Amino acid sequence: MSIGFIIATLGVGGFLLTSIFKILREYERGVIFTLGRVGRKAAGPGLVLMIPIIQQIRKIDMRTLVHDVPTQDVISRDNVSVKVNAVIYYRVVDAVRSVVQVENYMAATSQLAQTTLRSVLGKHDLDEMLQERDKLNADIQTILDQQTEAWGIKVSNVEIKHVDVDASMIRAIAKQAEAERERRAKVILAEGEQQAATKLSEAATILATEPGAMKLRYLSALQEIANDRTNTIIFPFGEADIQKFLNR
């Protein structure tokens, strides 16, 4: 009986010690309820004294949490169906609000991230999803941070990981890109022809007003042709032209 009494006493003593003294790590805070009411500030870190039965404590991790947003089916503004997943980084900045204002802040943040991801990406074209991820990440992060502020949550970063497009759509996008490259090539070629025609027109105007310049250009052309010795070239001269050369 004495041994049983000693064991019972030690058990009760251990229970009282664990009920009275709580140790919170550096990254933990304790939300203490006294007869069901919560204080304004969370306790910790370090040693926290509790009143057994009257007070209860709930520990909250204050470190940055990483959450993978499950793959979401999104229809872009140009009616392209894609699968998108992302990752969010957030942490608790107010332990009391994270307990009192929302039942499960992790689940709530996850669900809000999923709906926000679909909502934001659905307002953009596929090209914007693929090329402007930084802007989309910032938009999603801003919306999430505003919505979770009431829960004592701070969303620090959002990163879209993958934008998966159906194989048939990939082929269509490749054809579209090829057509776009051909269009640009034709536009550049047309602009080059236009610039060349403009310069030729300006040169012709100058040569028409300067007879001496026209003769020099004619002789320069003859010299260029004469450099090719593989063919015999005959240039007909009228009588008036021959007379002009003889008079010089």
Please indicate whether residue 87 or residue 214 has the higher confidence score (pLDDT). 87
List, for residues 217-235, the tens digit of each pLDDT value.
666 766 666 666 666 666 5
What confidence category does residue 162 fall into, taking pLDDT thresholds of 50, 70 and 90?
A: confident
Whether the per-residue pLDDT at 8 is higher than 50: the answer is no
Q: Give the residue from 246, 231, 74, 235 showing the smallest Cα distance to 166.
A: 74
Whether the per-residue pLDDT at 66 is higher than 70: the answer is yes
Rounded to an integer, the average pLDDT of 230-248 is 58
Rounded to an integer, the average pLDDT of 211-215 is 65
Q: Which are the contacts of 136, defined by CB distance < 8 A and separation ≥ 6?
A: 120, 121, 124, 128, 129, 160
Whether the per-residue pLDDT at 242 is higher than 60: the answer is no
Question: Cα 231 from chain centroid?
Answer: 64
Rounded to an integer, the average pLDDT of 52-76 is 91
Yes or no: say if 41 and 96 are a contact pair by the CB < 8 Å rule.
Answer: yes
pLDDT value for 149? 94
Domain 65-165 -> CATH class: alpha beta
pLDDT value for 10? 44
Q: Which are the contacts of 161, defined by CB distance < 8 A and separation ≥ 6?
A: 85, 86, 87
List, for residues 99-149, the tens digit of each pLDDT value.
999 999 999 999 999 999 999 999 998 888 888 899 999 999 999 999 999
Residues of the chain within CATH 3.30.479.30 domain(s) are 65-165
Model pTM above 0.75:
no
- What's the mean pLDDT when you consider all of the chain? 81
Please indicate whether residue 175 or residue 97 has the higher confidence score (pLDDT). 97
CA 213, 217, 222, 223 torsion-angle sign: positive
Q: Give the residue from 117, 71, 67 showing the smallest Cα distance to 88.
A: 67
pLDDT value for 243? 58
Query: Where is mean pLDDT largest: 26-40, 164-178, 197-211?
Result: 26-40
